[in-house]
Chains A and B, each alone.
Chain A
C-alpha cells in the first residue's frame, strides 16, 4: 500500500516538525519565567531566598491555588467559573455562623468538622445551580457564573448581616495558623502542638515547619493532578472541552460530567473559604473577592486555553507560584505594592500572547 507511506511522509514535513518543538518550549516558558523571577528577587531582595520565606509564600498562595485547581477543570472542560470568589466568601460566612452557634466547650475537632460540612454544603448549592444551568439549559458559562457571583455575594452578606462574622473559639486560630511540626533548637521536634511549658525567649526560638494551609494545598494539588491525568473524570474533561459533539457521540455523559466539574470547582472554593475562616478566625462574604482574578490568572498563565481542551494542574501550580513570587518579592524589595497588579496583569496578557503564537505555529 503505497498511499500509506505518503500519509506518513507528509507529517515528517519540516514545518510540521516545528510544531511539537515550539509546543514543548512554550510549556517551559512559565518555568523559565519563574526561575528568572526567583533569581531576580534572590539577588535584589535580602531575605527572599530563604526556606521560611518560601514556606510563607506557599501559605499565602494556598487559597488562590486551591480555587485555581477547580478552575483548571472548568476551563479544560470549555467553561469558566466567575463565581468561585464569592462562593468562597459564602462558605466562610456559613462556616463561621455555624461554628459560633455551637455551645462553648464543644471539642475543637467537632467545631472544625461542623464548619467544614456547613461551609462546603453552602458552597455546593451555587455550584450545583451553575452546573445545571450550563449543562442542561445550555446558558453560556460566563453569564451563569457572573449571575451566580452576584447571588453568592448577596447570600453571603445577608447571612453575615453585612459584617464579617468573627469566631472566638479557644484554640481555633492557633489551629488555622498552626504548623505540621515545630522544631526547637537543642530540644527536638514536636508534631501538631507546641511543646509544653515554654516561656518567653524559648517560645521565640521555635521554628514552625509546614504551615497547615500549605500542607492542605499540596495534598489537594496531588489529588487534583491524579484526578486530571489518571481518571476518566479528567480524561472526559479534556474530551468535552475539545469537542463536545464528539464526546456525546462517543457516549460520554456530557451533562452529568459538566455538572460534576462545576461542583468540584465550588467544592474547592468552599474548602478555601473554610480555611480562610480557620486562619483569620472570621467569615467574610467578600473574602475571595480579590482572589478570583488571581486564581483565573494562575490557570491562564499555566497554559490552559480559554477555548477549552488544554491545561494541566502542574501548569496552574506554576502560574500561582509566579503570581505569589511577584507579590512577595515586590514587598521584599520595597516596591509600592500596587505595582504587583500591573506586573501580574502584564504577565497574563503575555501568557495569552505566547499561547496564540504557539497555536499559529502548530496550525500552520
Chain B
C-alpha cells in the first residue's frame, strides 16, 4: 500500500489565526481503503486541519494533493464536488425533510411530465435511497418520516448514506459518535468498516481512544498544532498514544 498513490496527501500544511498557529506544518497521507484516526487533545488543531481539507478554511502554507493533483478549495462545495465528503458533528441535515429528501438534497433527480414540466422524481429517490441504505445494512423503517423523528444514529446513518450514494472518494468524520448512545456508536463504527470494505478511505477525528483503536488502521496524533506521531495500529498501544497526546515523552526528555 505504501507505494501506491495516496488518495489524500497533505504536505507541510499550516494555518494561523492572528498570532496563534493552529496547525503547524503538518503532513498526512490517506490511502485507498484505509481508516486513519486523528487524535489529539482539545485545541490540538485536529478540526482546523480537517477544515482545510474539506474547504472550510484555506491553508496559509503547504499543499493538499487529492488523487495526485494539487487542489485549492475556496468553499466546502468545491471539495464535495471532487468527492471529499465531511460528516459534521452538527449534522448537515434538514430535520423537517425525510431521509430520501436529505440524501438527494440539492441534487434532486428530475423527470419530464407531458414533455414540458420538469418535476422531482420522488419514486426514483425512494428506490435509490432504499438501495444505498440496504447496501450499508442500515435499517430505517419509514423513509418518509421527517429526520427530526429519527434517533441520532439513524440521522448519522443517513448522512453517511448520502455521502456513499454520491460516490465519496474520501470521507471525513468529525467526532461522528459524540452525541450517540452506546449501541448507536457501535453501529456508526460498523458503518466506518463498511466504508473501508467498499474502498472508501475514512479520516476520523475522535477523543475516544477505544473507538479509534476499534476501527483505525493508522493513528495520527496531534499536539499543539503539530503532528507528534504516527503509528500503525498493530505497532502501538494505548499507553504510547496517550503519552503522545499529553506530551509525556517530551517531559521525560527534558
Contacts and interface: CB of A to CB of B under 8 A. Distances in A.
Interface of A: 1, 3-8, 10-12, 16, 19-20, 226, 230-232, 235-236, 238-239, 241-243, 245-247, 249-252, 309-310, 362-363
Contacts of A250: 92, 105-107
Interface string B54-86: 000000000000000000000011001000000
B243 interface: no
A238 B186 CA distance: 32
Contacts of A226: 117, 119
A11 B151 contact: yes
B77 A241 contact: no
Given A7-B183, A243-B94, 12 more contacts: A3-B190, A6-B183, A7-B138, A7-B154, A19-B149, A230-B120, A235-B101, A238-B94, A239-B94, A242-B96, A249-B80, A309-B95
Contacts of B138: 4, 7
Given A243-B92, A246-B105, A247-B106, A231 B120 contact: yes
Question: Top 6 closest A-B pairs, CB basis?
Answer: A250-B106, A309-B96, A242-B94, A3-B187, A242-B96, A230-B119
A11 B155 CA distance: 12
B214 interface: no
Nearest to B86: A249
A19 B141 CA distance: 15
B76 A249 contact: yes
28 contacts: A1-B190, A3-B187, A4-B137, A4-B187, A6-B187, A7-B184, A11-B151, A12-B141, A16-B149, A230-B119, A230-B120, A231-B118, A232-B120, A239-B94, A239-B106, A242-B95, A243-B95, A247-B94, A247-B105, A249-B77, A249-B80, A250-B92, A250-B105, A251-B106, A252-B105, A309-B94, A309-B95, A362-B149
A192 B137 CA distance: 61
Given A3-B183, A231-B119, A362 B94 contact: no
Contacts of B140: 8, 11
Nearest to B93: A246
Interface residues of B, number: 38
B120 A235 contact: yes
A309 to B, nearest CB: 4
A226 B118 CA distance: 11
Contacts of A3: 183-184, 186-187, 190
Tell me if A's interface is mostly helix, strand, loop or mixed: helix
Contacts of B120: 230-232, 235
B150 interface: yes
Contacts of B76: 249
B248 interface: no
Contacts of A363: 148
Which of B91, B92, B105, B154 has the most chain A CB within a 10 Å cutoff? B105
B59 to A, nearest CB: 20
B231 interface: no
A245 B139 CA distance: 27
Nearest to A243: B94
A313 B141 CA distance: 28
A236 B96 CA distance: 12
B141 A8 contact: yes
B145 interface: yes
A6 B180 CA distance: 13
Given A239-B94, A249-B76, A7 B151 contact: yes
A226 B151 CA distance: 32
Contacts of B110: 232
B21 interface: no
Which of A4, A239, A251 has the most chain B CB within a 10 Å cutoff? A4
B92 A5 contact: no
Nearest to A230: B119
A343 to B, nearest CB: 31
Interface string B206-235: 000000000000000000000000000000
B52 to A, nearest CB: 16
Contacts of B187: 1, 3-4, 6-7
Contacts of A20: 145, 149
B196 to A, nearest CB: 14
A232 B108 contact: yes
Contacts of A7: 138-139, 151, 153-154, 157, 183-184, 187
Given A235-B120, A245-B92, A5 B105 contact: no
